[in-house]
Amino acid sequence: MLNIIFFLFLILGAIIHEYAHGWTADQLGDPTARNAGRLTLNPIAHIDLFGTIILPILMLLSFGSAFGYAKPVPYNPYNLNNKKRDPVLIGLSGPASNLMLAIILGLIIRLFPSSQLALPLSVGVFVNILLAIFNLVPIPPLDGSKLLLAILPESNFKQNFERYGFVILIFFIFTLFQYLTPLINFVYSLIIGI
């Protein structure tokens, strides 16, 4: 049952994350997400068949934990007001939305600690902290890479880093991701208040 709750919060968190990217881009002058019908919380607009459904289910069945993603919200950097700063703000808005959702769920748990919803909501807190922290890792295509790439000068390293980012990310997930666990648990305990 907790796996199903984890999966549902993963989908919800990924959708809110992508919506936040689109909303922020829209506020910064780029209507691409709105024009593409992606500036919505309707899950159908954000679900990627493989990344949102198949991959998380396969991982839950195989490993007992899940990784997944929603369809990335498009934006056009040429429409942005500030072409250096705004991609960073768009990138950070997704993890910020997950952290805000985790805090809201944590406040509900603190207000009603003995409620039957406390356990499912605590899963939601954990999932959204996981999404926020994972997406802040500075490896393309994750959001943290937007900050790193903004400060790196144009070079072959930058282009190769973007080109091979997905391979580096897979390596990270299977070898180094475990080192994020203490940070995830620390933030979780701060929000839940245990």
Rounded to whole angstroms, the Cα distance separating 152 from 144 reads: 13
- Burial class of residue 158 (count of CB atoms within 10 Å of its CB; 0-12, 13-18, 19+): middle
For residue 136, the one-letter residue type is L
Per the annotation, the verdict on 18 as an active-site residue is yes
- Catalytic choice (15, 17, 18, 38): 18
- What is the phi/psi pair of residue 99, to 5°? -65, -40
- Spatial CB neighbours of 4, under 8 Å, sequence gap ≥ 6: none
Long-range contacts of range 45-52, CB-CB < 8 Å, 24 or more positions apart? 45/71, 46/14, 46/15, 46/18, 46/19, 46/70, 46/71, 46/73, 47/11, 47/15, 47/71, 52/11, 52/14
Alpha-carbon dihedral 18, 20, 23, 27, rounded to 10 degrees: -130
Catalytic residue IDs: 18
